[in-house]
Copies of this chain bind each other. A is one copy, B any other.
């Protein structure tokens, strides 16, 4: 599709009857763009039918072969390869139909000014084809990749289509936002915090005033709570946010927006284990699976503030609270060691290679909670303040 963008712009314009249905305060200009692109796609296919041609769409290839690391931008990027998916092809007919159904479902969603889960959309599109025993979809594992196809084909994030996954994560800090029309002071959210929704695009969330100087992403909710309870965000003027492990898209996208729109530096605080490095890596450069989204999710400037494999010595953490690396950890660490974005040279050293090799040499991993061995608030009162002060981070 990407190459055919110009074909049908005029016809597409009459499409959106959607304004009548908009119930709430969503300016939703981006969703309107997405609706326009969806209509272009539909009209292009309809034109092929009218012209007596085999209808089809060009879907950019989502595979490792079509992905590369953009050294300059510091992002994982998708290449230009695309494949035609057409109706009169026995191997593609079903997928073609499914693509049209998902596109149609997404369009219905935008016209109704609603959002829904990817599971909902699966059920929305699932039915038995009249006169047969064949279902349009049998499993959600069929519709999920089609959603990704549609994202890359249209150049729209799924959030712009109105699709989301299970929400996860919370945020507090000195900032006032508008969420779906409600003004929310994130410094007055008690112990629970504001639950970060899946869709945080600017038609839903707008940033208002605030005094935050940086964003701190914390791997785990339980550790985040320590920072919240100790009011770290107040003393250090920052937003604290967690995503319950690997941060979901909503959390990543929100941090991206705070970084790019509000120019806030981003610090990532994770366990010292290969999984922690990987979480940081995805926040920083994007994931290989979804390279397409990197440009609008990845934060190449994100800093790794901890835990570092050198922290054990720096902070005199007792051996008893470390955990031995298992075979899977070692395999994973070696894999990550070879990621192109961890090959950065600084002067004569490779700080990231050193970091990971040092963990391998010690043979142990270290969780954030291990710092509680010193004192419950050691992490908020000593560990992080010192690391920030001494600029002990990697990027």
Q: How many angstroms between the C-alpha atoms of A121 and B375 in the bound complex?
A: 10
> Are B167 and A221 touching (Cβ within 8 A)?
yes
> Are A220 and B166 touching (Cβ within 8 A)?
yes
A223: chain B residues at CB < 8 Å are 117
Within the complex, which residue of B117, B196, B369 is in contact with A123, where a contact is CB–CB below 8 Å? B369
- Asked if A73 is an interface residue, CB under 8 A from chain B, the answer is no
> Are A164 and B225 touching (Cβ within 8 A)?
yes
Output the residue of A112, A177, A370 with the most chain B CB within 10 A: A370
- Asked if A33 is an interface residue, CB under 8 A from chain B, the answer is no
Q: Mark A139-178, 1 if CB is under 8 A from B, else 0.
A: 0000000000000000000000000111110100000011
> Are A376 and B167 touching (Cβ within 8 A)?
no
Q: How many angstroms between the C-alpha atoms of A320 and B122 in the bound complex?
A: 12
> Are B189 and A184 touching (Cβ within 8 A)?
yes
Q: How many A residues are at the interface, by size bracket?
A: 35 or more
- Asked if A276 is an interface residue, CB under 8 A from chain B, the answer is no
> Are B182 and A188 touching (Cβ within 8 A)?
yes
> Are A320 and B126 touching (Cβ within 8 A)?
yes
- Asked if A377 is an interface residue, CB under 8 A from chain B, the answer is yes
- Asked if A181 is an interface residue, CB under 8 A from chain B, the answer is yes
Output the residue of A121, A167, A182, A369 with the most chain B CB within 10 A: A167
Within the complex, which residue of B115, B183, B192, B244 is in contact with A196, where a contact is CB–CB below 8 Å? B192
Q: How many angstroms between the C-alpha atoms of A126 and B367 in the bound complex?
A: 13
- Asked if A79 is an interface residue, CB under 8 A from chain B, the answer is no
With A124-B372, A182-B189, A188-B184 as known contacts, state yes or no: A377 contacts B114, CB within 8 Å: yes
Q: How many angstroms between the C-alpha atoms of A285 and B195 in the bound complex?
A: 29
With A122-B369, A123-B370, A376-B112 as known contacts, state yes or no: A192 contacts B221, CB within 8 Å: no
Given A112-B377, A120-B376, A122-B369; 10 other pairs, CB 8 A cutoff: A116-B226, A116-B376, A127-B321, A166-B220, A167-B170, A189-B194, A190-B197, A192-B195, A193-B194, A194-B195
Interface residues of A (CB under 8 A from B): 108-109, 112, 114-117, 119-124, 126-128, 135, 164-168, 170, 177-184, 188-199, 204-205, 220-223, 225-226, 229, 244, 318-321, 367, 369-373, 376-377
